[in-house]
Amino acid sequence: MIRLRYPALPAGTRPDDRQVQPGRVIIITGAAGGIGRALVDTFAAAGDIVVAVDLPDSGVIELGRHLGQPHLGLECDVSREEEVVTLCALIESRFSQIGVLVNNAGIAPTMTATADTPVEDFQRALAVNLTGPYTMARETAKLMKPGAAIVNIASMAGLASNPKRNAYAASKAGLISITKSLATAWGSRGIRVTAVAPGYVRTPMVAELERTGKINATAIRCRVPIGRMARPDEIAHAVRFLASAQAGYITGSTLVVDGGCMSFNQPGRANPPKDAAPQAELSPPLEGTKARTVVVMGGAKGIGAAVARRFAANGDTLVIADVDGDAAVGLSGLLGDRHLAKRVDRTVESEVVALFEEVRERFGHIDVFVNGPGMSDTLVPPIEQVPAALKHHLDVNLSGAFTCVREAAISMRPGSVILNLGASCGLLPLGLGHAYRAYNAGIDMLTRCMAAELGPVGIRTATVAPGHIRTSSAIEWEKVAGMDQTRLRQLIPLGRFGGPEEVADAAYFLASSDACYINGSTLHVDGGWTASRDAGCLSELGGTNSTERTRGRITASRRRFPPRS
C-alpha cells in the first residue's frame, strides 16, 4: 500500500498538477531510519526538495508533514515492484523531473548461521537490498535528465566477508556490482550512479543494541583505526558530495566510509578499549575557522595546480612544491603573497626532508598534504622493458611518494589529512604499462597501510584516482602521438575527458570535515572507466563493435601514455 499526503495547494490547483519548484527533487528511501533521517536533514538543509520514502507505519508520512511544503512523505515497500511503479507515477504527477535518487532502504543482517538460515530469509534480503534498489533506479531514471545522480547505500559487508552475514553481504556485493553496470549503461544519458559503503554506524538502533548488551561496541571501536563508529550525518555528507555537481566526473565508484576498518588487517586492536562512546561518535565537533596549511607536491602544473587553486580559494595557505621551481613560483605569485613556492625533486631525500623542515619552522605544522601525480609511463612489451626504466619510474612515483608522506606525517597533528594522487590506469591496455600499474597498486596500498597506522593518532589518508584528465601536457601529448580523441571518449561511459578542477574538487572534499570518517579509501574520478572495465562492458559506441574497440585500444597502446600532471 502507498499513501501520499499532499500539502495544501493554492486554490484552483489539483493534487496531480505538476509543480515546478526551486531546488532539486531528491528521493530518499529508508528515510525514517538512522542514516535515512540524516540524509533527509542534510539534503533539506541544502535547499533541496525531499521525497521521503519508507515502509507503512514507519512514521515517514509524519516526517514529510514535519518538513512542510514542498517536501513529501510516501509509504512504499521497495521490494514490491508494483508499489515502486505506482510510487514513481505519483512522484511524476507532482514533479516534472527527479534530480537525485538515494537508495538507502535495506534490512540488516540476521546474524544467523548458514545451516539455520531459511531460504526465504535469504531471498527477502535480496529483494529489499538488491532487487528493490534496482527497481527504484530503473523507474526513477525514466524521470531523470542529464546531470541527475543515483547514489546507492551499500556496505563494507559487500566488500569484506564476515561469518553469519550471507544474505546481507551477498545483497550488498550485488548492489555494488549493479552500481557499476548502471553507471556504464546510463553514462551516455548523463546519469551518474555511485555507491557509498559505510562501515559501522551509530544509528539509534545500534545505540539501543549497545545499551542492551546485544553488540560489543567496545570491540568494534578497537578494530577501527579512527577509534569509533561513524555518525549517520557522516554517511549523509559523503552521499551529498557524490550527488553534487562537484562530483560530475565520478560515476561507477564506490566510496568506502569506514574509518579505516578495511585497512586494518592484523590480529589485535587498532586502538585501546574505551569506556564509553567517544564524543565525536555522538555529535559533530565544532567547525574550525582558521586557514589550513596545505602542501601540494607536484603542485605547479596540471592537476596539482588545480588542487592548489582549489585550496587557495578556500583561504588556505599553500606550499607549492615542484621540480619545476619557476612554475611553482609563478603559480604562487598568482595566488597571493602568503603562499610559498619551493623547487623540490621528490627523488632526492635530502630535498624532501629540507622542505618539510622549512614548513615546520615557518608554519608549525601541516594540515593537508597532497601527493601530486608523478611521471608517465612508456608502454612497451614486457620483453622490451628494461629494469632500469622500471626502477626510474618507481623511484619517482612510489619511493618519492613514500618519502614525502613520511616527512608530512611527522609534521602533522590530529585532524590532518594525507591525500595520494594515483590514477585509475584509465586507458592502459592490460598487458602494458608495468611501471604505471605497479606505481598505482603501491600507492593504493601505501594509503591503506598509513590509514591503519596513522588513524589512531588522528591522521586520515585517502587516494584520489583520476582517469583521463585534460591537462595541457596531456593535450600536447595527444597531438604528438596522433591519438584518436573520439575513440578515447568512446571508452569512457560519460563520453568525455575530465578536467583538472574535477579532480581538485574530489581532493578538496576528502580533505574536508565532511569526509572525517573516510580513511584509507580510494575515490575514482574517471568518468566511469574503472566501472565499465570491471562490469565487463563499455559505453555505447554508436554502432562500433567490440572488435573495433579492441583494435583502437591496441593502437593506442603502442604510444606513450599521456602524463597526468
Confidence band (pLDDT; 50, 70, 90) for 20? Answer: very low
Q: Which residue has the cell 590506469?
A: 425
pLDDT of residue 83: 97
Q: Which one has a higher pLDDT value, 436 or 64?
A: 64
Domain identity same for 523 and 451: yes
Confidence band (pLDDT; 50, 70, 90) for 214? Answer: confident
Tell me, yes or no, whether 20 lies in a domain: no
Cα(141)–Cα(153) distance, integer angstroms = 17
Domain identity same for 344 and 467: yes
Over residues 497-511, the mean pLDDT reads 97
pLDDT of residue 204 exceeding 80? yes
Tell me, yes or no, whether 114 lies in a domain: yes
Cα(491)–Cα(187) distance, integer angstroms = 11
Confidence band (pLDDT; 50, 70, 90) for 491? Answer: confident
Q: Which of 204-213, 240-249, 388-397 has the highest mean pLDDT?
A: 240-249
Tell me, yes or no, whether 238 lies in a domain: yes
pLDDT of residue 3 exceeding 70? no
Domain identity same for 191 and 336: no
The grid cell for 286 is 565544532
pLDDT of residue 546 exceeding 60? no
Cα(340)–Cα(317) distance, integer angstroms = 8
Last residue of a domain, one of 259, 278, 304: 259
Question: Which residues are CB-neighbours of 514 under 8 A, at least 6 positions away?
Answer: 234, 237, 238, 240, 241
Confidence band (pLDDT; 50, 70, 90) for 490? Answer: confident
Domain identity same for 318 and 248: no
Domain identity same for 431 and 389: yes
- Indicate the pTM of the whole model: 0.89
Over residues 158-163, the mean pLDDT reads 89
Last residue of a domain, one of 259, 279, 302: 259
Among 19-23, 422-426, 511-515, the range scoring the smallest mean pLDDT is 19-23
Q: Which residue has the cell 515492484?
A: 81
367: phi then psi, degrees, rounded to nearest 5: -95, -40
Domain identity same for 411 and 545: yes
Tell me, yes or no, whether 277 lies in a domain: no
Residue 127 contacts residue 170 (beta carbons within 8 Å): no
Domain identity same for 458 and 362: yes
Over residues 126-138, the mean pLDDT reads 97
Task: Please list the active-site residues.
Answer: 168, 436
Domain extent for 198: 25-204+229-259
Residue 396 contacts residue 405 (beta carbons within 8 Å): no
Among 61-65, 156-160, 283-287, 305-309, the range scoring the smallest mean pLDDT is 283-287
The pLDDT mean for the chain works out to 86
pLDDT of residue 11: 42
Q: Say which CATH number the domain at 467 has.
A: 3.40.50.720
Tell me, yes or no, whether 219 lies in a domain: no
Q: Categorise residue 76: left if φ over 0, alpha if ψ from -120 to 50, beta otherwise.
A: beta
pLDDT of residue 463 exceeding 60? yes
Domain identity same for 233 and 362: no
Domain count, the chain: 2
Share of the chain above pLDDT 70, in %: 83
- How far CA 318 is from CA of 336, 374, 507, 548, in Å, comes to 10, 19, 14, 46
Question: Which residues are CB-neighbours of 476 under 8 A, at least 6 positions away?
Answer: none
pLDDT of residue 389: 67
pLDDT of residue 95 exceeding 80? yes
Distance of CA 367 to the CA centre of its chain: 21
Cα(393)–Cα(401) distance, integer angstroms = 11
Over residues 143-156, the mean pLDDT reads 97
Domain identity same for 310 and 366: yes
The burial class, CB within 10 Å (0-12 / 13-18 / 19+), for 189 is: middle
Provide the total of helices (H) and of strands (E) in the chain, helices listed first: 21, 14
pLDDT of residue 294 exceeding 50? yes
pLDDT of residue 564 exceeding 70? no
Residue 148 contacts residue 244 (beta carbons within 8 Å): no
Cα(429)–Cα(188) distance, integer angstroms = 23
pLDDT of residue 494 exceeding 50? yes
- Provide DSSP, 272-302: ---SS--HHHHSPPPPP-SPPEEEEET-SSH
Domain identity same for 302 and 393: yes
Task: Specify the DSSP class assigned to residue 200.
Answer: S
Distance of CA 152 to the CA centre of its chain: 12
Distance of CA 282 to the CA centre of its chain: 24
pLDDT of residue 390 exceeding 90? no
Over residues 152-156, the mean pLDDT reads 97
pLDDT of residue 197 exceeding 80? yes
Q: Which one has a higher pLDDT value, 205 or 352?
A: 352
pLDDT of residue 22: 61
pLDDT of residue 502: 97
pLDDT of residue 6 exceeding 50? no
Cα(326)–Cα(111) distance, integer angstroms = 60
Tell me, yes or no, whether 13 lies in a domain: no
pLDDT of residue 38: 97
Q: Which of 133-142, 287-296, 467-476 has the highest mean pLDDT?
A: 133-142
pLDDT of residue 234 exceeding 90? yes
Tell me, yes or no, whether 404 lies in a domain: yes
Domain identity same for 413 and 511: yes
Domain identity same for 357 and 252: no
Cα(174)–Cα(178) distance, integer angstroms = 6
**Per-residue pLDDT tens over the stretch 342-376:** 999 999 999 999 999 999 999 999 999 999 876 66
Over residues 365-390, the mean pLDDT reads 74
Tell me, yes or no, whether 516 lies in a domain: yes
423: phi then psi, degrees, rounded to nearest 5: -165, 155
